[in-house]
Each structure stands twice: as structure tokens, then as C-alpha cells.
Structure 1
């Protein structure tokens, strides 16, 4: 059956089609007219897509409009700006961008304040070869490399993490809690840069708290309550202004805005504080903020600020403040970049990209240029402090320079924020917060202690079987307690005895059964696979201790005098004898005779006549004078010789029974070591002893007994142990050889941030003299007070002790000789 259309229906259909055709023709004509006007008028068309419900978007819009007016007025160019509102919706942003391309033939894009907008619209811009300038300051380099027409027009603010670390170091805070809002995928970029910055700084992240943008007050309170139970009191907040205000409001309810707390905000909050109602600052009092830097002085900024405030007040009359912030000045400079790039017509593709990359001009934010398609990163930030109902600028931080109150004064930079003036912390304390507090609920550190220590003065576990408890004492224990006191935070701990080998004890840290190990634990390379060591707190080295043998030297009688002393004594005696013989030979017939007889008499006189002649036998006053001086010197020198020789004869000469370990190994000798220590493997694997030739002992008394009874030929002890052992048995044993070994240290889990803290605290204990005090108190009782002196060199009599005596007798003899010669010559010439 055929369908028939009535005349009325035909009329209505024709009327509807006519109406649709009219509307479509009018719309097409309008759009076509716009396109023709744009093409024929040599106008640069810039499109912008932003969330204009936010303060950042509102500021950016007014700044872009101001920039276009200034650009057209100062360059005689004709640039047009079309701005669309995404309302914070990704699909809305894509729709508006597509509309700007199809409806207005835009030649460049601006805006894109979220990572999702950047990636989506950057894709569209690259497809149509339209330069896209993002105001997001954290566009990943991989996205810029993948999308050739995408540029980051805002300087990266990740450098503020270095400013944060500089603040931490200024007040010697070691740990902080990072609180961040999971706004978008840019949050992961912030975490990455923060972790890279603190990696080599010595500053550690105590905890990381992620907050959802939709978090309720209840969930915020729960998170704050959880982190408040921990000891860390330094918080870094990276969140939007809205979330930040909610966070501080709940922190105030929790009592976390009082004395002892430290709150530091990043630019996400700090850059928008100028928009906050002054009454809001009361909940943020004491907060220190790191903000983006730009010069808010100078004629160019003042001119921009005046225009901005006038226009912003008209467009946004409900806003609290009309002052431009960092978002405004960055949008202003980005618009100039886009307009400059499009001012050079007839460019497309790679030529257009090269033109954009080569742009460089002086903007409000400073010198603007691109490096790897990114606006050069910011290396300067301003530091603020919230006080009462306002905030004040403390100063600036510049990378490579430090903190300063004045930006351009390079002479007044300082590494510490403390030197920029007083900071009002939460609760307004008189002193800087220490950054930590005793936690309300925390599990104590489980510290393993060896029970089989050989030398109890280092570590000893005493059990009280009646009360079923134990106590740990010893040098290592006391030193650990003192070190913990020097840590820059509170540390709760409890000791747990471990009955097993030292290697097994170290493995317990790797198995997470212990959080640390304290005791006579040696630093050994193979143990690093399970844990890490602090700086050694004892001497390093492995000692081979052996018995000593006593002997007396056959030529010991010559030892009291040095060689020079013997030589000069003989010369003086012969010289004095010669002078005495020369003067007295005329008066004593016994001193005369043949030449051979005269020589024998002279030598005999030098060593014996002095003691056989008395004053009556001497005929000449000159010889009497020589004899008196000579006798005086001989008596003193002789008495000193006798005393020194007597001392040497009564002192035992000691020497090691074994000189080196090779002789022990070649003789197949048995050696000892401390049972449970790593020394056994060292003796076998490194020194090459056989397993059957090494024997373990559990006490110093066993070492001594085995050595004396020749059960073992030597015992190998770590340096601290050998020091105690030899102090107790100082006359029976001695060190024959020393080998490289790491000493004793505290042991902590691999990768633990506390390794650095413990090492620094341990060095502080040593440098303050406390280490020596503990060592003297805990180990000093073993000091040997009857050690025998070594007389090989020390105690020998030399020329320096007797110069004056030899000069006396020598000069007396010489004077007598000269007088005798003069008198003899006088008598000779008289006759």
C-alpha cells in the first residue's frame, strides 16, 4: 500500500527545511566572514583555554588581555586573543580547543594548567602544527619530545626543593614529613624531584602522606592524628590553597599549630597568599612559605600592575585582592612569546619551531628563553613568614648563593636562613623548634646484643634468673647509649640478647628480627650484604699475639755509653795521660826509657796512673792541676756508667717467640682465636691456615693458659681485644704482627637513614672527649702499671750529657801544656 502525504504535511516539511537552511546559511556565512577577515587583515590569532573558575585562571586571563593590548601598542602588530573557559573539565577543554581551531583558525594555544590538558591539547596542537604554550611549570621532558609543537612557557619551580633543603640545614633538622595533595599526575613529578634533591643532602623523609582533593575533614583529622603520633615535627605541604587552608584548620584543632611544630609550604600555597582574606592567616600563624620569585619593582611591573588591577577589579569585583601574582606575570610573558612567534608570517613546520626556540626577551619574570622547549628554570625563590593577620617577606634564596634579604646584593648572601632575622614559628616559641618530639606511640628499636662476647668489658649480658630479666653492660653498651643522646631526634630502643655466632647475629638485621646490633662486632666486607656499619669506634687491625722470650746481651757492658761517648772518653784519657807524661817525665825516672817503653808507659798512664799516683808523687803544680780536673771528671763519668749498667743488667730483654705467621703456617702450628668471631674465616681464607690447626677460645684466661702450655703458638685478636689482653698479661706476651681489619662499629639495616645520623653522633661523642672518658672508665682498669722500659736507645749516656766535663778536663790539660811549653822554651833560650 503506497504512503500518501497530505498537502498540509508537505507544507510543514518544506517550511522546516527552509528554516534550517536559513539558520545554517547564516551561521556558515558568519563563520566564513570571520575567517576571511582574519586571513585578509594580517592578524595573528591566539587561542587560550583555561579554568577561569580558579584564581590562577582569572589572573591569567586578565594578564593575557593586558599583554595583547601592550603588544599591539608597542610593536604596531595586530594580534587577537580568544579565551575559552574549560571550567576545570578535561573534555570541556578539548571541546573548546577544537572550537577555536575550527571556528577562529587560531595559530597558537595558551593556558593548559593541568597535566591532562597539556597532553590532550598538546596532541591536537602538534597534529595541526599549532604552537602550544603551557602555563604548567612541570611538563615532563618526554612529553615535550613526543609532541613537537608543545612548549613549557612557565619556568620550572622544582628548584624550590633545594631551597627547602637549605632551610632544613639552616636549623639542623634531619627529617621531615611530606604532605601532598594528589591533584593530578604532576604530583609524581614533584615527588621525583624532592627525592633527587634530598638524596645527597643528609636530609631524610620520615613519612609521605597523600591527600585526596575530595578528602573530608574526618579523613584529614585521621591523617593528622596518625602523623602526630610520630616524633617528626617538620612538615612540608604541597597542596592547593583550598586544601592547604583546610589542612591548617584541622591541624589547629589537633593542637599541631603550637610550639614545637614546623610547617613549610611550597609555591602552590605561597603564591596565592596575596589572595587570602587577612582573617584566614590566624590559622596559619608561624608557617614559612617558599614562593615563586619575580621582580615586583620597576617601571615595567608598576605599569602592568596598574593596568591589571583596573581591569581585574572590573571583571572580578568579588575577589579579596586585585594585586597580580606569579600566575599573572607568567601568563603576561607567555602571551608575549606567542605573539612574537606569530609576528613573523609565512612560517610553518620546523621553521616555526626554530623561531619559537630562538625567542629571547626581557619579561616581567626576567630573561625569557627556551632550553629544550622549556622556559629556563627558576633559580631564585622568596621566603615568607605568616604572622598574625599578614605575612612578611623574610628574604630570598638563590641557588649557588644562599639566603639574602636583598636580591641583587651578592655580598650579603648567607648559607643559613637564621641570619635573615627572627622567624615566628607556630606558638611563637622563644627558641627555634628542634624538629622532633617524643612520640606518643612508637615501637622501640630492637637492638641485638651478643651473649658470647669473649671480653666482657666490651659487652656482657647478665641474667637475673630470680626476676627473669637481664641487663646489658660494657663499653659498647655505654657508648651506644651516649650516641643515642646525641641524635637529632628521640630514639626509643630495647636490648635483646642473641646466643649465636656473630655472622648469624648480623643476618638477623637482614631478616628484620633486629633493627640494630651493638657489641664487639667487627666491620667485615662480607657483612655488608646484610647490613651497614657506622664509623668504627675502636682501633682497627688484627693482632698476632705470641709469648715472649728473655735474654741478656753479651756486650751489654758497652751499652751505657754511646759510640761517640766511648770515643771521646778514650781520646780525652790518652790526651790527659800524654800531657801528664810530658810534664812529669823529667822528674820521674820511671817515666823515662826507650821509645817503645815510653809509648807503653804513656798508654798505661792514660788508664791506670790516674788512680795509682797520689798528690805526693807529682812534682809539678801543672800536673797536680791536671790530675784534680781529670779525677773530678772521671769520678762523675764512672758513677753514671755504673748506674746505667746496673739498671740494664736488672732489666729483662724481651723478644717475640715467633716472628711471623708464615713460620707458624709452615711448621703446621696450632693457633687460637675468639670463638664466634669472624677471625676463623680470616685465618683460613686469607692467611691460609688449615681448619684443623685453628682453635677457638671463650675467655682471656683460656688464651693465656694455652699459650703458656704451648697448646697454641699464637692467638689472633682484634686490636681492641689485644689491647686489653696485653694490659692484663703485659710481661708474658707481645704483638708479633698486625693485619688489616675494620674495627668495631654499630650495625644498622641496609639503606637506613640512621647510619649517617649515628656516625655523626658518634663522631660528636669522640670530638667532645666523652669517648675517652667512657674508655677510661670502662676499660682503664686493665692498664698495666709495671711495663719495663726499652734501654736500647732511651737511657744510654751520650756526649750531650758530659760536654761541659770534657771541656773542663781537656781545657785544663791544654792550659797546663801551653804553660809547660812556654816555660821550657824560656829555659832553653836562657841557656
Structure 2
């Protein structure tokens, strides 16, 4: 035909296989090959410049199908496709899009149109034996109807299954009979969206009344075929009339089938005109990009009561939506953008997409069993069925997480004993590593070295390592407790300060105050009495000298602060002394050479030896709370231990039982918390981690579980770590006060002796001018201490006169005339 009829364009290779052959001929003849139904992605117009596809590439629907699966929260799919070029070309694109959103392609099944019924049923049985129930089918309409007949016969078009068909089937549902479509009840499908227009309505009316009077309906391929003719006609109209059709012989030779093929001169012009053609056709706006139509909108259908109903749309810009032309801010991947579909089995309940496989094995999940800490995991055996009954906080969190998964996880819980004569947590995880167990669920601490051979979920509970010690015996009845508020250096410094202050006041008052005179014994007694009577403000001696008053004011202020601090500290000791631990920190443990206990089978032993540098010979392991109590009660010197180290969740259970005997002290050592362990690479880790977040965020449910298992802990308030420090007040805390007192006393003495020297040094030099310097100093001291030189009346009525005398003396006046009852002899 190309040679004899001078063909300038070829329309209509229906299948991709036909198109591939015809494209080669069109390339040699340089005429456009136009197809409206060859949708295989392997046929690329960019690689075949004379190939024009007035249809959508199959790969464009991959994103829409992925959006549906993602919207309903399914995480695994099975792909079933026709074993032809048409069927297999889409699968890589689907797999890629699923991978982008973390949806796993559980398995792929290819079925040939030539397969017998027995072979197809055999593959369907394999699908039934799997847990995944979300199935994507990519087949031609003729083979697809046969396939769904068989799927219905084996009860796979039933409740629990999800069937999604590509546009190869969904676009041709209308022409199918009632019997064919009846086997696809509840199936979801996608197909290109055809916008309703006036021209489309007129064409449908003409099709039904004039062209085709039967009930056969047009489908998308018919609309594309109609638009193809219009586009080609418009392209031909663009060609000048004088252009010849054929340009002689072509020198390309094909020795097998086409010895000589003439090259069309108008073929290339028609191709260029076709690529530039734009108009509003039956299928919508006609415009070719890269030699083919571009995907714009897909409609999502649901087969209900032998007909398809549109439940929503998908667009590249908006994602899922109920209206195709509605603009939104960003893409939506929510199932609520779609109308609720009817699923296989005539149910509105959304399938979970996963079920227990027929004849499938349950996951073997190990749970660590240890006595004494059963709030987290408790293992009992039913006396009648002999089955294990497992309860506890960790178990409940795991079951709640499984309930949030979009698929069921059939499993069997198997106890794993932890104890002195049993296994350890690390041994349990090694069994998970070699897949003796499929997982381990319990109070398992997440550690960096453990994560090298197993995968952990996100933590469901925070837990660190704490040190527990015995509480000191109550010392409130100690007869010497009154000495404990102040440290010994503070006691000593305070006593010295009292004596020094009394001595300074005596020096300042001795020459002018009769109450500070008398025999040597009396004066020493006065100094000590005056010093310590200030402590309770019971001193009776009247102070005359202003410098003495200044010193006394400062010292009374210091005494007031000391007494108030002492009172507060003593009161605190008498009321909270029972909170004091026997051991403050790890350094004290090591210094005393105490034995240390830890929980049997836990990682704490490695922490004590490798990180805290304890001698392994000083470590003792215990398995129950009762053993912890017995060891701590004995003490390290009597066959027990000085402290217990344990994971915080176990420590809190222990303290809840013995809250009046032990307490947490010292720093804590952080871990990543408690989680569940799975073999490396397990996909359940991601799903269960996300479900754990859902459980944790459900505060009411978490509170209910915590109240169920840990309500007794709150009474003891063991969830707060008590910081212990020395209760005795030290010298450093009052150093500033003593410095102020010393400065005030020293300054007063300097001022006093300066004035004394000014008054008496001249007289001493005159009388003892031939004596040495030290003799003069000795005379000056005698002059200061000699009471006969400064006689004072015994009564207090002359105190004002004495004060005046003192002032005069300080002024250097030698002769004083007195008036009144002060005699010259007294002067």
C-alpha cells in the first residue's frame, strides 16, 4: 500500500506488538504511525520520531494506583499481570512508585493468556496462601474477564480482599456483559477522565440514534480514535496542495520483506502538522507533548451492582479529590477525599489488607520471664489448657500496637526464662538474630551494641540505670545530734571568735568601766562570760566606749545569723533525717570496698565493669526483689551488698515494695529506653514503631495501663530522684561574716591604741627618758593595766563623769576641775 497507494500516514495498530512492527515500516517510509490504543511504556515517541500516540502511556497511571493504596494505609500489595508485552511493561513503574512511599510489593504473578484453567487456579491458590490481601491486576479486557471468573469461583472476590484494576480493564467495563462485570463486585479501578462537554453529548446522541443503534457504549479508546481522525484531518489541511506525495525510490532496503520502500514527501509535513495541532475533542483538550497525550486526570471507579460508579478523582496537582476541577493547596492522600466504596463481599468496612494465611505459620515471639518484676511481664500457665497466659505492661503495649496495624500479625508468645540458672537478655536477642524467634517482646533495654545484630522499635518507655542504697537509721534520738548542724571547723571558729570578741571589748572597756575590772581571775571570767552570754543576749555589763559598741553591734549581727541558721538546720535534721542514705555516691562504694548487686541476666553487669570500673569480684547478681531486699539489709560486711544497680523500671518496682527502707542516690546512667526486638531488616519494625507512637500519644489508654500495673508506686513517689548533700553547715558559708567581725575588731583596736599612745607616750618618755625602747613599752603596758592609776567609783551614778573624764583624757588635758559628788581622791 505504501508503494502502490502512496500512503502518507498509518492509523490504528491496536496492540503494542502490532505497533512495534508497523513503526519500523513507517520509519523507513517516513510516514507517521498513529495509534490510539498501543499504550505500552516501552513504545516511546521520543525514540521513534514517526510514532504518534494519541493515548496515555500506561506508566502514567502508576502514581494514581499508588495514591489509592497509600490513602487506605495498606503497606503490602501483590501484582498480578498478563504475561505479554502489554502486561509486563507496566510492572517496573508500579514497583518504583510503591517503593517511593514505602509500600512493599510482596509478590508478582504473571499469567499467560494461553494458560489453562488449572494453571491459573494453581497461582490463585498461592495468592490465597499469602497474608497480603491487596491485589493489583493489570490485564487486557478479554483475559481479565476470564481471570475474575476464576477468582470468584475460588471465593477470592469476598470480604477481606482488595482488588484494584488498571485502565486496561476499567476503561472497557461498559462493553462487557452483565455476566462479566458481575464477577468483579467491589473492585476498584482507575481510568482516564473524560470531561463532559456539549460536543460529547451531541456525539453520544448521534452514536446511539444514527450510527450504532445497539446498546454498545463507546469507551475511551473510541473517543481517542475519533479525535485522531480530526487531528489528522487538521494536519493534512496545513499541507500545501502542490506538494507531491512520493519522492521516488528510497535507497533503504529490507531483503526479507520490503525490497524497496518509497519515502513519502508529505509524511514528515503531516507529522509536523499533527504535533502542532490543538483543539477541543471528545476526550478533552487535544494537545500532544513529546508525540503523545499527557496524563491530566484519572477517575476512580467502584464496581457496584453490575455497573461502575465514580467515587473520586486523582490529579497530578491535587492528588485525590472528589471534584476533578477543584483547586487545592497541595496534594491530598486522604481516603476521606473519596466516596466510601463497597468492597468485595458487599461490605463498607475497609479491609485491613492482611490476614492469617491458610496453612501459614504464626510468628514465634519470645517474652523474657523473670520472677519479682511481674508488673511488666507475668507468665502463668492455665491449669486446664496448659497454655501460657502472659500479662503485664509490656505485653499490653505490644498488643495495643498490633491492634493499630492495618493488618493482623498472627503470633504465638513463648516464655524465655531469665535467671541465675537460665538465660540472659543478650542470649534471648541472639536467638532473635539467628531467627530461632521472630521477635522478642518485653522490658528489653535498647543498647548500641545490641542494635548491631537486631533491630529495635521505637522505645515505649524511658528507662535508665540507677543506684539504690539503704536509708540511714533515724538519728533524731541521738544524744549528740545538737552538734551536727555545724561542722567542726565552724564550731571551732565560732568559739574562737566569741573569745576574741570578748577580749576586744575588755580591752576597750577596761580603763573606763568598773564592770571590766577586778582581780585577774575576775577579769578572765568576765571576758568569757561576756563572750558567751551574747549568744543568748543575756549579758548584763553596760558598755561605755563607742568603739566597743561598734564591735558589739557587728558581733550581735553575726550571732543572730549563726543562731538562726543553727536552729533551721537542727529542725531539718530532726524532721527529715530519715531521708539520708548510707552511701552517697559510687566513689564511696569503691573507697569502702563494698560489694555491689545487679539484676541477673541484665546488661547492668557490663556497665558496672566496663564503664564504672568496678572489680568484677565485687559484683553479685540477684533475681528477685526479695533477694535485693535481703542483700541490702545485710550490708556489704555481712554477706550482702552496699548498693544495688538496676534499670529504672525494675528499681521503681522494687522501691514501691520497700519504699521506707531504700532510696535512689547518685547520678543516673542513660539508655535509649525499652523496646521490642526483631531480626535485622524486618519490615515489622517500621510498622510497629509507628503503632507504638499511636499508643503513647493516646494518653487515656496509657494512663489506664499505668494505673493498672503501677498505681502502688505513686504512694512512695519513687519516680523522683532525691539529691543528697551534707546537712551540716560549713565554715565557708559564714566566712564573710567572720571577716567582717575581724575587720571591725581590728579597726577598733587600732583606733583605741593610737589615741592611747598619743595621750601617754610623751609622759613615758619624760619620766623614763634614759630607759630603752622596750622598757618604755613595758611601762606603757603597766600604765594601761594598773587599775590604781584609773580609780573608778563603785556606783553607777558617776558613770557620766567617768565618760567625760575619758573624753578629756583622750583630748590630752592634765587638770580637771570636778563639781558634785566626785571627790578629788577619786580623780
Same fold, TM-score > 0.5, yes or no: yes
Aligned match of 1:137: 39
Aligned match of 1:444: 362
**Any idea what SS the aligned residue of 2:84 has?**
coil
Indicate how the Cα distance of structure 1 residues 352 and 735 shifts in structure 2: closer, same or farther if over 3 A, else same: farther
Report the Cα offset of residue 150 of structure 1.
5.9
- 1:259-290 deviation line (CA, Å, top 9, x unaligned): 55443322111111122234543333333321
**Any idea what SS the aligned residue of 1:195 has?**
helix
Aligned match of 1:47: 10
Indicate how the Cα distance of structure 1 residues 298 and 647 shifts in structure 2: closer, same or farther if over 3 A, else same: same
Task: Return the index of the structure with the highest Cα Rg.
Answer: 2
Indicate how the Cα distance of structure 1 residues 391 and 359 shifts in structure 2: closer, same or farther if over 3 A, else same: same
Matched-pair contact (CA < 8 Å) for 2:472–2:581: yes
Aligned match of 1:754: 684
Indicate how the Cα distance of structure 1 residues 759 and 778 shifts in structure 2: closer, same or farther if over 3 A, else same: same
Matched-pair contact (CA < 8 Å) for 2:87–2:139: no
- 1:222-261 correspondence to structure 2 within 5 Å: 222-225=122-125, 227-228=127-128, 232-261=132-161
- 1:555-634 correspondence to structure 2 within 5 Å: 556=485
Aligned match of 2:730: none
Aligned match of 2:377: 459
- 1:158-557 correspondence to structure 2 within 5 Å: 158-170=59-71, 172-175=72-75, 177-199=77-99, 201=101, 203-205=103-105, 208-225=108-125, 227-228=127-128, 232-278=132-178, 280-299=180-199, 301=200, 313=212, 321-323=216-218, 325-331=219-225, 359=276, 361-362=278-279, 364=281, 365=283, 373=290, 375=292, 377-410=294-327, 415-418=333-336, 420-429=338-347, 431-433=349-351, 435=353, 441-451=359-369, 455-462=373-380, 470-498=388-416, 500-545=423-468, 556=485
Indicate how the Cα distance of structure 1 residues 189 and 754 shifts in structure 2: closer, same or farther if over 3 A, else same: farther
Report the Cα offset of residue 709 of structure 1.
1.2
Q: Determine which of 722, 732, 737 is the counterpart of 2:651.
A: 722
**Any idea what SS the aligned residue of 1:275 has?**
coil
Matched-pair contact (CA < 8 Å) for 2:379–2:391: yes
- 1:7-86 correspondence to structure 2 within 5 Å: 34=4, 38=6, 45-48=8-11, 50=13, 57=14
Q: Does 2:61 correspond to 1:156?
A: no
- 1:761-814 deviation line (CA, Å, top 9, x unaligned): 333333333333223323444555387999999xxxxxxxxxxxxxxxxxxxxx
Indicate how the Cα distance of structure 1 residues 750 and 792 shifts in structure 2: closer, same or farther if over 3 A, else same: closer
Matched-pair contact (CA < 8 Å) for 1:174–1:202: no
**Any idea what SS the aligned residue of 1:328 has?**
helix
Q: Does 202-211 or 521-530 show the bigger shift?
A: 202-211
Indicate how the Cα distance of structure 1 residues 744 and 420 shifts in structure 2: closer, same or farther if over 3 A, else same: closer
Indicate how the Cα distance of structure 1 residues 686 and 155 shifts in structure 2: closer, same or farther if over 3 A, else same: farther
Indicate how the Cα distance of structure 1 residues 429 and 470 shifts in structure 2: closer, same or farther if over 3 A, else same: closer
How many residue pairs align between the two structures? 623
| Unaligned segments of structure 1, at least 5 residues | 1-29, 39-43, 51-56, 58-112, 559-589, 608-637, 794-831
Matched-pair contact (CA < 8 Å) for 1:292–1:326: yes
Matched-pair contact (CA < 8 Å) for 1:648–1:791: no
Task: State the distance in 2 between where 1:656 and 1:123 align.
Answer: 94
Indicate how the Cα distance of structure 1 residues 161 and 717 shifts in structure 2: closer, same or farther if over 3 A, else same: farther
Indicate how the Cα distance of structure 1 residues 488 and 466 shifts in structure 2: closer, same or farther if over 3 A, else same: closer
Indicate how the Cα distance of structure 1 residues 685 and 249 shifts in structure 2: closer, same or farther if over 3 A, else same: same
Q: Does 212-221 or 741-750 show the bigger shift?
A: 212-221
Task: State the distance in 1 between where 2:595 and 2:543 align.
Answer: 73
Aligned match of 2:702: 771
Task: State the distance in 1 between where 2:710 and 2:346 align.
Answer: 47
Task: State the distance in 2 between where 1:161 and 1:763 align.
Answer: 31
**Any idea what SS the aligned residue of 1:518 has?**
strand
Task: State the distance in 2 between where 1:356 and 1:692 align.
Answer: 92
Task: State the distance in 2 between where 1:553 and 1:718 align.
Answer: 39
Task: State the distance in 1 between where 2:129 and 2:435 align.
Answer: 23
Aligned match of 1:709: 636
Task: State the distance in 2 between where 1:376 and 1:527 align.
Answer: 54
| Unaligned segments of structure 2, at least 5 residues | 248-263, 418-422, 476-480, 488-539, 558-562, 727-827
Indicate how the Cα distance of structure 1 residues 398 and 685 shifts in structure 2: closer, same or farther if over 3 A, else same: farther
TM-score by length of 1: 0.61
Report the Cα offset of residue 593 of structure 1.
10
**Any idea what SS the aligned residue of 2:325 has?**
coil
Indicate how the Cα distance of structure 1 residues 681 and 429 shifts in structure 2: closer, same or farther if over 3 A, else same: same
**Any idea what SS the aligned residue of 2:651 has?**
helix
Matched-pair contact (CA < 8 Å) for 2:235–2:277: no
CA RMSD of aligned residues (A): 5.2
Task: State the distance in 2 between where 1:776 and 1:680 align.
Answer: 31
Indicate how the Cα distance of structure 1 residues 647 and 501 shifts in structure 2: closer, same or farther if over 3 A, else same: closer
